[in-house]
């Protein structure tokens, strides 16, 4: 997991300017030649091989979890993301309030950020979650990023490895409610510096919640399919600041750039309207496939810095979209709308293919490792 990921530089039609020196590991690059000698081809082969090895090593944890599940698991499984009759889908931009066996492969997103005068940030992610017991699970995730500043060459590489654990301590089937506590960590130094992966780790304790409105009076039938899920946590970096030493190209003098890393309040929620719940629990209004399995939703994903000279600075997005949920998997897509200029100025997107491992493999990798008889 600690193997350093490779960075990829790809050409652009623009000409590099002074801003290019601000991106890590981009100095001293030369324009691509029209023809490449054999030595360059050999380097490329070795480079691609290093990427393949890096990807292989980064899948070691999920594979180990899967193999352990096949050997140790008990005999019974639990339904994916339920509290009573309420089904909670896996949201795309905010984390789930429940513990489950699931795999997101892939999650694809793209948006233009204000960095470097406008940088296209495209990400390809994979996330896996595995229940250890009925109420406790672990998670692992990895992201491959491509950053393309305007009129400059793009850089690509892995972000830091993300690990997490979650404990579902409250579930009320009658009132369709779930509460969980979680702890996540972005493992510093496991990603590529050229895509902004931090050399230090960041810990994030969080509270997750989910509440369906199916317990509303029968006189409010159209509100009963609504559900609200959300999360609130604090990202705590293990380093308060980092220093970068460089030379001013105009004056020739040495410079020190100090970047401060504040504690950050992370909060978000999703408002969903389940046509599945409407059809099955409220009233069959005659919807047919695929519309009877749609869940329109709007997600709000926000961050506010708390200290170190950045207190009160908020970034975030509002993400309207829809999820189609089947028995074994779901597909979702959302627009990503920045809330302010600090976040961005253009609308992006996020899309995900998500598998319910507990329903796909109820007798093997889709059940808890221990205590799965209830």
Q: For position 7, what pLDDT does the model report?
A: 52
Q: What is the pLDDT of residues 5-61, one digit of tens each?
A: 445 444 444 433 433 333 333 333 333 333 444 444 444 444 444 444 354 445 444
Write the CATH number for 310. 2.40.160.40
Domain-located, residue 129: yes
Q: Indicate whether 195 belongs to any domain.
A: yes
8 A C-beta contact, residue 44 and residue 37: no
Contacts of 78 (CB under 8 A, 6+ apart): 134, 358, 367, 368, 372
- 168 in a domain, yes or no? yes
Does the residue 246 lie in any domain?
A: yes
Range of the domain at 192: 8-14+36-360
| Within a domain: 233 | yes
pLDDT of residue 249: 75
* Cα–Cα nearest to 225, from 97, 89, 352: 89
Element (H, E) at 331: strand 329-338
Q: Over the chain, what is the mean pLDDT?
A: 83
In a domain, 373, yes or no: no
Percent of the chain with pLDDT over 90: 69
Looking at the predicted structure, is the pLDDT value of residue 234 above 70?
yes
Residue 24: inside a domain: no
How many domains, in total, are found in the chain?
1
Q: Are 109 and 123 in contact (CB under 8 A)?
A: yes
Q: Are 159 and 194 in contact (CB under 8 A)?
A: no
Q: Residue 151 in contact with residue 70, Cβ under 8 Å?
A: no
Question: Is 222 within a domain?
Answer: yes
Percentage of the chain lying above the pLDDT 70 cut: 78
Q: What is the pLDDT of residues 177-209, one digit of tens each?
A: 999 999 999 999 999 999 999 999 999 999 999
């Amino acid at each position: 997991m600690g193997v350093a990921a490779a960075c990829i530089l790809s050409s652009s039609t623009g000409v590099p300017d002074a801003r290019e020196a601000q991106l890590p590991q981009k100095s001293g690059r030369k324009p691509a030649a029209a023809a490449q000698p054999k030595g360059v081809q050999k380097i490329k082969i070795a480079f691609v091989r290093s990427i393949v090895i890096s990807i292989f090593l980064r899948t070691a944890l999920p594979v180990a979890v899967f193999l352990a599940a096949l050997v140790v698991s008990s005999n019974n499984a639990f339904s994916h993301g339920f509290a009573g009759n309420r089904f909670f889908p896996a949201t795309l931009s905010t984390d789930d309030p429940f513990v489950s066996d699931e795999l997101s492969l892939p999650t694809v997103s793209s948006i233009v950020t204000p960095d470097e005068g406008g940088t296209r940030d495209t990400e390809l992610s994979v996330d896996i979650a595995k229940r250890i017991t009925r109420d406790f699970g672990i998670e692992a995730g990895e992201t491959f990023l491509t950053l393309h500043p305007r009129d400059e060459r793009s850089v690509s590489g892995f972000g830091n490895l993300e690990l997490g654990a979650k404990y579902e301590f409250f579930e009320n089937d009658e009132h369709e409610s779930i509460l969980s506590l979680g702890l996540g960590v972005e493992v510093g130094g496991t990603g590529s510096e050229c895509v902004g992966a931090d050399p230090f780790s960041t810990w994030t304790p969080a509270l997750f919640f989910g509440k369906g409105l199916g317990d509303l009076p029968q006189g409010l039938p159209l509100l009963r399919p609504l559900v609200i899920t959300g999360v609130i946590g604090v990202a705590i970096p293990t380093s308060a600041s980092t220093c970068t030493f460089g030379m001013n190209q105009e004056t020739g003098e040495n410079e020190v750039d100090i970047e401060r890393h504040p504690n950050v309040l992370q909060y978000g929620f999703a408002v969903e309207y389940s046509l599945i719940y409407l059809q099955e629990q409220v009233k069959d209004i005659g919807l047919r496939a695929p519309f009877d399995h749609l869940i329109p939703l709007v997600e709000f994903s926000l961050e506010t810095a708390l200290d170190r000279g950045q207190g009160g600075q908020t970034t975030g997005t509002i993400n309207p979209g829809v999820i189609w949920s089947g028995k074994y998997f779901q597909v979702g897509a959302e627009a990503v709308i920045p809330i302010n200029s600090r976040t961005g100025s253009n609308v992006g997107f996020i899309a995900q293919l998500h598998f319910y491992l507990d329903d796909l493999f109820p007798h093997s990798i889709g059940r808890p490792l221990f205590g799965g008889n209830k």
